[in-house]
A and B are shown apart, each in its own frame.
Chain A
Amino acid sequence: MVLEDATIVDLYWSRNENAIYESNIKYGKYCYAIANNILTDNEDSEECVNDTWLGAWNSMPPNRPDKLKHFFGKLTRWLSLNRLRDNGRVKRGSGELKVALEELEDTLDSNADVEHKIELYELSEHINSFLESIDEMKREVFLARYWYMASISEICRSFGFSESKVKNMLMRTRKELLKKLKEDGLC
């Protein structure tokens, strides 16, 4: 039986180590998919997923997340990006991450002031605001690509779009994002 999120959170709060087992049962697959899209390495991805449970153990209490899935997902994504840096394996990622970075660079860096200093939290707020303002389908394709690091072919298969449509949609969204960030004085 898969436990409710609130029950799993209670396990963490009561320092019951079954919390980790239950987290893995319920969200292990999800977190592994996020890690592996970034790391493209089975062993590293497994370790990042396990690090996610330890991170969760250290953060609950005091945190009491409403939705464990995305709490864990964000932790896994963050740990995976960190893992790449720590490994020093590939300077700026590999697999879909590398391609995704290049896509973003093509759009965002063309006219960007690279000396412009910006706090990440401020950028987060502006990007969140941008994502709220755009069409739902565009948003999902954008996040599938740049949050979950899904490949173009995966996105085509899942959304039922042609490759050119997905690529065009992504390019347009990136340009809109650049425009919005410029308007906001962020680049």
Chain B
Amino acid sequence: MLSDDVLLALNTVRDEFLEKTWESLNKQATAQKTHRKISRTALIAAIIAALLVASALALQAISKPEGNSIGWFNNVMEHQEGAGLSATQKDAIAALSYSGGVTASDNGVIVTAESLTVGRYNAIIILGVTFEEGNITPTAQYSFEIYGCDLDVPDDVVIDYGFTQSFYFSDEETNKAYIVIGLDANEEIMELTRFADTFLLNFENLRCRDTESGETTSVEGHWQLPVVLSASPELETIELGNMSVRSSAQLSWPLHIQLPCRMELQNVSISGADITYSQDSKYTQAMMVFGKPVGMRYLEICAVLKNGVSISTVGGSGFTDSDGLVVFSYRWEVPFSLEDVDYIRFGSSKVFINR
């Protein structure tokens, strides 16, 4: 046991002991000068008020989705913000998106890469699934039992990509079911196309789960789709450099409480599709106070557009570089034009863009 332990353990001392000690300390002590800043306090209050307003956004009616990238992102916006994409957001997504143009067929099931949206570190791929014979089940959710991707790289290069799959919707009119694939550069890759730009997407066994009956059926098969990922040359970036931001920490001792804390971010860079930054590894590990784990820090990041819409980060990956810094990259849940950004919020810190 060290003296530090005693100092920390004292934090839970009984209130009445503290009260009497404080009274004694101030019996003859001269009043201490304080430097209150009401304006700063008012600022904090204003920030909290703004957060309250932001959280009060109501969910509105959701329109029928479309089976392409703009349709997918519009659907995400409607679910989260109650309003679809703005015209400039649609333009920004259109600039990042293109048709996959590849199809694979097996056992009567045709899988098509309908639309791809590619950023620096990640991609969203909309797959369309149709049957050569018969119709899709409109009340069913479709997914693949096994999925992954291969790259044409030397055998000694081991590459790992984050790969997610989610059912999007079934369209009775086109007799097509849509599945969304998320691809994230993982571990020490960072740039999605660092090793190759042609990705061989592999899918096995199509599952169909009827949401009404609860029954699941499966169509065996293997579908390979060679898709070419290419970040748009129009993808602008803004280098924000290094910054100190106010984040949050969840303490487990001496109180279970969420507290503000600071984080130092380095080499922050944003595009309309993603964000990347580096930070000291101490921010990603358990918080240690005098050798004791007391909690974890976390940093929420979102982009707030000039129309007030807030866009969160999703996916993401991180690795430790040769300097010992942890490098993170995240995808914006919905792409946008950098010209539309008012500020990026890191925890409770705002970094204004375009001002």
At the interface with chain A, which of B26-34, B109-117, B136-144, B232-240? B26-34
Of A67, A116, A124, A131, the residue contacting B17 (CB under 8 A) is: A131
Complex contact A118–B6 (CB within 8 A): no
Please name the residue on chain A nearest to B8 by beta carbon. Answer: A120
A45 to B27, CA, bound (A): 23
> CB-defined interface of A82-107 with B at 8 Å, one 1/0 digit per residue?
10011000001000010011111100
Q: A29-B34, A32-B36 are in contact. Are A15 and B5 (CB under 8 A)?
A: no
Complex contact B18–A105 (CB within 8 A): no
Please name the residue on chain A nearest to B4 by beta carbon. Answer: A101
B interface residues, how many (CB within 8 angstroms): 58
> CB-defined interface of B29-44 with A at 8 Å, one 1/0 digit per residue?
1001011111011101
Query: Does A155 interact with chain B (Cβ within 8 Å)?
Result: yes
A134 to B347, CA, bound (A): 45
A104 to B9, CA, bound (A): 13
Query: Does B257 interact with chain A (Cβ within 8 Å)?
Result: yes
Complex contact B13–A143 (CB within 8 A): yes
Q: Which of A39-90 contact B (CB under 8 A)?
A: 42, 45-46, 49-51, 53-55, 57-59, 63, 66-67, 69-70, 73-75, 77-79, 81-82, 85-86
Please name the residue on chain A nearest to B10 by beta carbon. Answer: A147
Q: A55-B258, A120-B253 are in contact. Are A109 and B9 (CB under 8 A)?
A: no
Complex contact B21–A28 (CB within 8 A): no
A6 to B207, CA, bound (A): 58
Chosen A-B contacts, 5 in total, with CB atoms closer than 8 Å, are A54-B44, A67-B19, A74-B12, A140-B24, A154-B29
Q: Which residues of B contact A (CB under 8 A)?
A: 1-15, 17-22, 24-29, 32, 34-38, 40-42, 44-46, 48-49, 52, 248, 251, 253-255, 257-262, 287-289, 292, 348
Apart from A46-B37, A100-B7, A143-B13, 12 more pairs, CB < 8 Å: A46-B35, A46-B36, A50-B40, A51-B260, A54-B44, A54-B259, A58-B258, A112-B2, A120-B8, A144-B21, A157-B29, A158-B28
Q: Which residues of A contact B (CB under 8 A)?
A: 15, 17-18, 20-21, 24, 28-30, 32-33, 36, 42, 45-46, 49-51, 53-55, 57-59, 63, 66-67, 69-70, 73-75, 77-79, 81-82, 85-86, 92, 97, 100-105, 108-109, 112-114, 116, 118, 120-121, 123-124, 127-128, 131-132, 136, 139-140, 143-144, 146-148, 150, 154-155, 157-160, 177, 181, 186-187
Minimum-distance CB pairs A-B, first 9: A104-B3, A17-B45, A70-B15, A123-B9, A143-B21, A124-B12, A124-B9, A58-B258, A105-B3
